[in-house]
Amino acid sequence: MTTNIRYVAVLAPQPEGGFTVTFPDIPEAITEGDDRDAALFNAAEVLTLCLEQRMEDGEAIPAATKVKGKGAEWIEPAAAVQAALLMKQAREAQGKSLADLARALDTSWPAAQRLEQPGGNPTLKQLERAAAALGKRLVVGLG
């Protein structure tokens, strides 16, 4: 099963032109764009920034809910945020601590922690090893 992190954005056309974009699951993520393409680009950027901030602050990352209707679009944050969140979710789903992951990777706790930080910049090899240690497989795709 392939997993990715994505949230519904609601694009609301504005009378003066352009769109306002909100995320029902991430209320602080609000942006706009002069046209649909700009609004979608800005939506991915603000989603990435808000998720990074929540991670830095140790706040919960909500599961995405499905929103149907006119103007609803799925938006994915930057790859670094997705990788960090997916690594943390996989580890927590197995009830493992960062120390457990560090031992499985034969590395330090800070090195294991960096795998779950958007700015940690792990290599693909490190992500592959960590995924394998969690009984998972790293899958990379282009959207």
Residues 87-132 pLDDT 10s: 999 999 999 999 999 999 999 999 999 999 999 999 999 999 999 9
Residues of the chain within CATH 3.30.160.250 domain(s) are 7-75
* C-alpha dist (Å) from residue 92 to 22, 100, 132: 29, 11, 15
Confidence at residue 91, expressed as pLDDT on a 0 to 100 scale: 94
The tally of CA atoms less than 13 A away on the side-chain side of residue 18 is: 11
Residues 92 and 94: their CA atoms lie apart, in Å, by 5
Give me the architecture of the 7-75 domain, per CATH: 2-Layer Sandwich (3.30)
- pLDDT 10s digits, 7-22: 999 999 999 999 999 9
Q: Bridge-partner residues for 12, per DSSP?
A: 20
Confidence at residue 113, expressed as pLDDT on a 0 to 100 scale: 94
Collapsed DSSP state (helix, strand, coil) of residue 136: coil
Confidence at residue 2, expressed as pLDDT on a 0 to 100 scale: 52
Instruction: Please state, for a pLDDT cut of 90, what percent of the chain lies above it.
Output: 80
Residues of the chain within CATH 1.10.260 domain(s) are 79-133
* C-alpha dist (Å) from residue 11 to 4, 21, 131, 141: 21, 5, 35, 26
The amino acid that residue 63 corresponds to is A
Confidence at residue 137, expressed as pLDDT on a 0 to 100 scale: 92
Do residues 22 and 29 make contact, with C-beta atoms less than 8 angstroms apart?
yes
Give the model's confidence band at 143: pLDDT under 50 very low, under 70 low, under 90 confident, else very high: confident
- Tokens (6 digits) for 21: 């974009």
* C-alpha dist (Å) from residue 44 to 27, 29, 84: 14, 10, 16
Confidence at residue 72, expressed as pLDDT on a 0 to 100 scale: 84
Give the model's confidence band at 63: pLDDT under 50 very low, under 70 low, under 90 confident, else very high: confident
- At the topology level of CATH, where does 79-133 sit? 434 Repressor (Amino-terminal Domain) (1.10.260)
| pTM (2 d.p.) | 0.87
Confidence at residue 126, expressed as pLDDT on a 0 to 100 scale: 93
Residues 131 and 64: their CA atoms lie apart, in Å, by 22
Instruction: Please state, for a pLDDT cut of 70, what percent of the chain lies above it.
Output: 96
